[in-house]
Amino acid sequence: MYKDLLTSKNINMIPRRDYKQKILEENYRINDNEKIHSFSEYVELESQNDPNFFRWLFEQDDLSDFENPEPDTFSDFLNEL
């Protein structure tokens, strides 16, 4: 999350973040990963295994496979899970 310097409001760089977190949580539970990984570990593994993960997360279709345009934002996202 970043702060808009003009308005001082927080800006979330992940569009529809809450919705995407819910989708990831559902997939995590459906695949019974709770016994193997923490949720944040699961999300990190998904980002490493799914070439479209960051396109989906950041809604940027022009990214290359596995390209993370916002490493700090993604790291913050993982830490908040």
Residue-wise pLDDT for 43-76, tens only, equals 999 999 999 999 999 999 999 999 999 998 999 8
Torsion sign (Cα): 43, 37, 50, 32? negative
Number of other CB atoms surrounding residue 21 within 10 Å: 16
In a domain, 9, yes or no: no
- Write down the pLDDT at residue 46: 96
Whether 47 is covered by a domain: the verdict is yes
Does residue 7 lie in a domain region? no
Domain that holds residue 62: 14-80
Q: Give the total number of structural domains in the chain.
A: 1
